[in-house]
Amino acid sequence: MRELELHLDLLKTPAGSADGELEVVAGDGAGDGFSVELGANRVTLRGDNPRGCLNAAYWLLEQLGFCWVAPGPDGIRFVPGKQLAEGSYREEPRFRRRTLILGNDALHDDWPEWFEWASRNRLNDIFFHDTPPSRLDRGQSPRPSSAADLAADRSGWMLERWDADSAAIRAAASVAGMSIQFGGHHLPALLSRELFATNPEWFPMRDGVRDARYNLCVSSEGGVAHLRIRAQAFFERFAGAAVYHLWADDIRGGGWCECPDCAGMSPSDQALFATNVLADVLAESAPGARIAHLAYHDTLLPPTNVRPRENVSLLFAPRERCYAHAINDASCERNVPQYWAPFEGLLPLFANDPARIDVFEYYSDAILFKWLAPPLLSVQPLDAEAYQSAGAGNLQNLMVTPRRWLGPPWHTWWMARCAWGSAAGVDAALGEFCGAAYPGHSREMADYYREQERAYRLILDLHDLKPTPRRDVLDFSDQPAETLRTKVGELSEAAALFEDLYERILGFGGGELAGEAEQAELVWHVVAHLAGRTAAWELLLRGDNSKSGARHIAAASVHLGWLDEWERSANSPAYANLSRGMLSGMRSFTRALA
């Protein structure tokens, strides 16, 4: 097998490698578990299917000491000294499908490296998803090359990437036994807003008036007919995916129709109705493929009047949940009542069929986490256990970021381990990862991640703060006011902890920790900005216009200035359509407070 040969070649000495026999046996099952039999001079890899054989090969390489901590050749690490006893070994995955979501242009540009990394870490599904959404009817306009022009364009370029690379992507998926998902918030693009001038009845009614913004009127026969035609073209242009995503506008509240014919339909009903229309088209265009019903924002609650087609699967996306607690942690004031309970209510709608129950998680979402990269040491394995127990068949991790990752992305590597269901706990996993990623500072970096976990929990614990429309999670809420006051104290403590962590990692020295040191500095500036801004806001809400508020704003502005300079001097232009908009929003909020 190519992967075994490639890695074992890295270990060869001039004297050559040891003699022995290798047998590879592939079954035709649906799952990709495997068995490995190790004898004195013989190794047998038995995969439940061909992908299972590949998983067995990667498992064997891991036992020899290989670890893939980042994409690309530099991310292949070998830790010598491991031993594996002769005998029989068996592993099966916790989830049948395990997905890495590539969520923005810079990640799509590097898809071959991420694809290879995902396969080696025993993920078996890649989802091409774009933030911000690409334009469906861009024509032949070339992609800008400068950061300023990309930021001004304010849209993604994933569709053009697929046009150029789809044959290579499909070929890579076939070789690796991986499936492909494709799409995002593209439903509105199927109904051009320019059509409002001639067909206003196709568009939603709000407050008694037709409105060109957001989604469509699902009761409009003409609008639905147009949707079918455009969906057919979409599936033909982007052929080759196993699962498609044509989601509604990415807003909370106010996105759906209130006309007399739609008024009795909840947002969830309207969203599923539109998805069923697309599903009927997909059944003709690509039999066997599925399309996702996105349970997200105001479509989290189960539909009451519409049932999904057979080729529609659930995509549960609890974006505003609390990441300081597991998704089913009863002690959390947000997760169980607002997210876990609706999730359990959705399962019967999809016949409790694991093949139709997918979870879209945000463990590597640096937009949600405001440029940060929390390790989520305890939450990820607890989430995996919860979702598995509930009957989910696919755990997905959104990787989307306004900045390049600095140092190996632990959060993504850890998700792959949790989705597979390795018996090793977090301490063993930290030891394995840090031993491979930072061989000169393994123990110190494991402790460093544990200290990060403590500091991040202060930021991520949302307590009983109520979500605020049109504001993101870590912008927090001013209700209840007492909880916001608590959050101010937690953010201040977190900023101090991250400053200490930055100074600690500098003390370890450069070399292999250069990326982590740069990331530690960036994280400290982000958290310090957030802490100062939130403290000033809380004082204003209390009517306190003292000089302390001005000092908080001044400090927050200094840290934001550092982020601006880093983004322009050290970030890659491909991130600009996310990074510059986010920084602009941070500046706007800070100036408004000032």
pLDDT 10s digits, 496-527: 999 999 999 999 987 899 999 999 999 999 99
For residue 324, the SS3 value is coil
> CA angle 87-91-95, nearest 5°?
180
Q: Please give the pLDDT value at position 18.
A: 54
Residue 310 vs residues 318, 358, 431, 566: alpha-carbon distances, Å: 23, 15, 44, 49
- pLDDT value at residue 447: 98
pLDDT of 173-227, one tens digit each?
999 999 999 999 999 999 999 999 999 999 999 999 999 999 999 999 999 999 9
**Residues 215-273: pLDDT tens digits?**
999 999 999 999 999 999 999 999 999 999 999 999 988 899 999 999 999 999 999 99
Residues 542-593: pLDDT tens digits? 999 889 999 999 999 999 999 999 999 999 999 999 999 999 999 999 999 9
CB atoms closer than 10 angstroms to residue 471: 14
- The reported pLDDT for the residue numbered 11 is 83
Is it true that the peptide bond before 267 is cis, omega within 30 degrees of 0?
no
Q: Are 135 and 404 in contact (CB under 8 A)?
A: no
- CA-nearest of 409, 406, 327, 337 to 360 is 327
pLDDT band at 15 (very low <50, low <70, confident <90, very high): very low
| Angstrom distances, CA of residue 257 to CA of 186, 209, 274 | 18, 10, 12
How far apart, in whole angstroms, are the C-alpha atoms of residue 102 and residue 131? 10
460-467, Cβ contacts within 8 angstroms, sequence gap of 24 or more: 460/322, 460/323, 460/324, 460/374, 461/322, 461/324, 461/325, 461/490, 462/322, 462/324, 462/333, 462/334, 463/333, 463/487, 464/333, 464/334, 467/252, 467/320
Specify the amino acid at residue 550.
A
Q: What pLDDT is attached to residue 20?
A: 80
Per the listing, tokens 């008036």 go with: 209
Higher confidence at residue 12 or residue 92? Answer: 92
Q: What percent of the chain has pLDDT over 90?
A: 92
**Which of the two residues, 424 and 267, has the higher pLDDT score?**
267
pLDDT at 16: 41
Tell me: the pLDDT tens digits for 462-492?
999 998 877 899 999 999 999 999 999 999 9
Which residues have a Cβ under 8 Å from the Cβ of 527 and sit 6 or more positions away?
A: 372, 455, 459, 491, 494, 495, 498
CB 356 within 8 A of CB 392: no
| Secondary structure E strands in 176-310 | 179-184, 205-206, 209-210, 243-246, 290-295
Query: Mean pLDDT, to the nearest integer, of 325-352?
Result: 97
Closest residue by Cα to residue 11 from 68, 60, 80: 80
| The two three-digit tokens of residue 400, written as one number | 């989307």
Could you tell me the pLDDT band of residue 133, with boundaries at 50, 70 and 90?
Answer: very high
For 198, the token pair is 């001639």
Q: What is the pLDDT of residue 471?
A: 83
pLDDT at position 23 over 80: yes
If we measure between CA atoms, which residue out of 317, 319, 323 comes closest to residue 462? 323
Q: What is the pLDDT of residues 147-167, one digit of tens each?
A: 999 999 999 999 999 999 999
Query: How far is residue 26's CA from residue 47's CA, in Å, rounded to a whole number?
Result: 5
100 beta partners: 126, 397
Cα 231 to Cα 489: distance, rounded to the nearest angstrom: 50
Give how far the C-alpha of residue 397 lies from the chain's centroid of Cα atoms, to the nearest Å. 4
Find, among 405, 420, 511, the residue nearest to 114 by Cα. 405
Q: What is the average pLDDT across 103-111? A: 98
Can you say whether the dihedral through the CA atoms of 257, 262, 265, 270 is positive or negative?
negative
- Across all residues in the chain, what is the average pLDDT? 96
Q: Which residue has the tokens 């508020």?
A: 549
Q: Is the model's pLDDT at 444 over the cut of 90?
A: yes
Cα separation values, 175 from 99, 115, 178, 421, Å: 17, 11, 8, 24
Q: What is the mean pLDDT of residues 343-352?
A: 98
Element (H, E) at 362: strand 357-365
Quick one: what percent of the chain has pLDDT higher than 70? 99
The answer to whether residues 263 and 213 touch, using CB atoms and an 8 Å cutoff, is: no
310 φ, ψ (degrees, to nearest 5): -65, -30
User: What are the tokens at 399?
Assistant: 């990787």
In whole angstroms, give the CA distance from residue 325 to residue 31.
Answer: 31
- Other C-beta atoms within 10 Å of 121: how many? 21
